[in-house]
Amino acid sequence: MFILFSILLILSRFSTVTTGSNVKAMFVFGDSIVDCGNNDFLDTDAQCNYFPYGVDFPLGATGRCTNGRTSADILGQLLGLPHFLPAFYDPQTTGSSILAGVNYASAGAGILDSTRQSQHIISLSHQIANFGETTLPDLKSLLNGSFALSSYLSQSIFFFLIGGGDYMASCTTSSGVAVECELQSLTELLIRNYTHHLMKAYDFGARKFVVFNLLQTGCDPYFKQRNNGSCVDLLNEGSTLFNNALRPALENLSEDLPGFSFVYINMSGIINVIIDDPTTYGLKVTNESCCFFAGANATGPLCVEGDGPCPDRSIYSNYDGLHLTEKLYMHLSTKAYSSELQTEAYPFNVEVLANLNISLMLTGPPSFHTRDH
């Protein structure tokens, strides 16, 4: 009965369900897990634009904090996008290069503007402002009008993966050592702000949202190394609180905003299952960093510039002290795209979302000025 109810709910809210992806573009908002090189163009030390990053990526070190593709790169390929999405801050991201989408993610970014503000990274609110104030007018010009833009946006995916950095900034020191923080109030603040930012994206014309929950980062190699081999339980508890609140928040938005559709990706659950049964997924090393971030020259969680990584990246889960390997992102993205388990992708997978035709009569045109929530 639940499955039947879900199907009827979908059909009642969307005009038709088709087969074959009709995605026009994808717009990516987030932190270092999906940054494709925006921070390369910013005055910040939060960068992954050197070897051994990108050792398995076709273009080498581009600013991606992994050995190869990110989860956003892989999902874009699964959706049939023609190329990797360009970084918003790349001066070459102009004209027709934006028609398949843009990546706004910034390594170190948070949901709160105050998170790592001194490091000159781009918070979520500013990422969405970059979309609305710069990309949206350019798209309107390229697509020759508001109606074409509305249709285009209703067939585009808006990808969000952010929030872990807010807990790290509040619950650990700059050297990765745990400190006390008020998890409940922080979580409530984050969810309230996240909801506000998603509504802004909706006002700009976003209708199809893919939202990833947070990883259990407290047991990442970096934090265990800095805390005498112990996990930072506060980080894990924080992500659990956040994840438990995020899905209901998305469901509320879906009820309140006409045409708002979402897929909630249980990134934490998917990755935990893989780590708990590594051999099934071709992994052998799940408790060490491939690029040996904790070597004599290391000062933080990132790879040491110029040091070679492990020879076989495909058997590692972690590339550096905080980020995963392309192998893990491949499993994550594939499950996000096609999993039929609601414990992994809720209420359906990204492939289903991509093929929903949202009636423009229900949603109205995008606005260049968001409401005051």
32 is catalytic: yes
Nearest by Cα to 301 from 38, 44, 46:
46
**Contact in structure between 23 and 80 (CB atoms under 8 Å):** yes
Neighbours of 349 (CB within 10 A): 21
Tell me the torsion sign for CA atoms 136, 139, 144, 147: negative
d(CA 167, CA 181) in angstroms, rounded, equals 9
- β-pairing, 261-265 vs 316-318, is unpaired
Q: Which of 21, 32, 154, 170 is catalytic?
A: 32
Query: In Å, what is the CA distance from 158 to each residue of 181, 188, 191, 312?
Result: 31, 23, 18, 33
323 is catalytic: yes
Active-site residue identified among 35, 73, 323, 333: 323
Structural contact between residues 325 and 313, judged by C-beta atoms closer than 8 angstroms:
yes
The token duo for 194 is: 């996240």
Rounded Cα–Cα distance for residues 103 and 38 (Å): 8
Query: Checking DSSP bridges between strand 356-357 and strand 16-17, what pairing results, if any?
Result: antiparallel
- Whether residue 373 lies in the annotated active site: no
Which residues lie below 8 Å from residue 8, measured CB to CB, with a gap of 6+? none
Q: Name the active-site residue from 35, 56, 220, 320.
A: 320
> Look-up: residue for tokens 């781009």?
122
The per-residue DSSP string of 106-170 comes to -TT--SSTTTTGGGT---HHHHHHHIIIIIHHHHHHHHTSHHHHHHHHHTEEEEEE--HHHHHHH
Q: Which of 172, 154, 166, 155 is nearest to 232 (CA)?
A: 172
Give the angle 278-279-282 at the CA atoms, nearest 5°. 95
List residues with catalytic annotation.
32, 320, 323
